[in-house]
Amino acid sequence: MLCVWWDMNGMIYWELLGSKSTLATAVYSQQLDRVAEATAYDKIDQSFKSWVVLPHPVYNPDLASSDYHLFQDLQLELDEQHLEKDEDVKNWLKNYFDQKPRIFFERGIRSLPTKWAQVMYNNGEYFE
């Protein structure tokens, strides 16, 4: 399982869990600690005060930028790969993320308002 955190500037943190791992609360909490270490968390904390929370369905992959943007592109690239060892997968992912231009990540984040409007227009139903 690939866990990712990214913003408009690129990949913040990613971690590949073992094939038999699950994302339990303890694992997720540890990951969040590592993400906080990789970011200027105190600046993010301050910006939360000016955010407006918008209504949205509990979970909708149309609103998950990793689902509709990053993972679709990643899958296209992976379709051509034959990686057998975990280390090969990790190295391939590192190269994939390192080679993605900033504009790729920026497009994914900037498309969120349009995606949100489409989801709300469709009453939370999935769309293509």
| Tens digits of residue pLDDT in 61-98 | 777 888 889 999 999 999 988 999 989 999 999 999 99
In this structure, what CATH number is given to the domain that contains residue 81?
Answer: 3.30.420.10
Tokens encoding 53: 């929370």
Phi, psi of 4 (to 5 degrees): -135, 150
Q: Name residues whose C-beta falls within 8 Å of residue 59's C-beta, 6 or more positions apart in sequence.
A: none
What does the CA dihedral 96, 101, 107, 112 come to, rounded to 10 degrees? 50
The answer to the question of residue 102 being in a domain is: yes
The answer to the question of residue 23 being in a domain is: yes
Specify the pLDDT at position 122: 81
Q: Answer whether 61's CB lies under 8 Å from 68's CB.
A: yes
Specify the pLDDT at position 41: 57
The answer to the question of residue 27 being in a domain is: yes
β partners of residue 6: 11
The answer to the question of residue 86 being in a domain is: yes
Number of domains the chain is built from: 1
The answer to the question of residue 127 being in a domain is: no
What does the CA dihedral 51, 53, 56, 62 come to, rounded to 10 degrees? 10
- Domain with 84, as residue range(s), is 2-121
The answer to the question of residue 128 being in a domain is: no
27-36, 58-67, 68-77, 111-120: range with highest mean pLDDT: 68-77
The answer to the question of residue 64 being in a domain is: yes
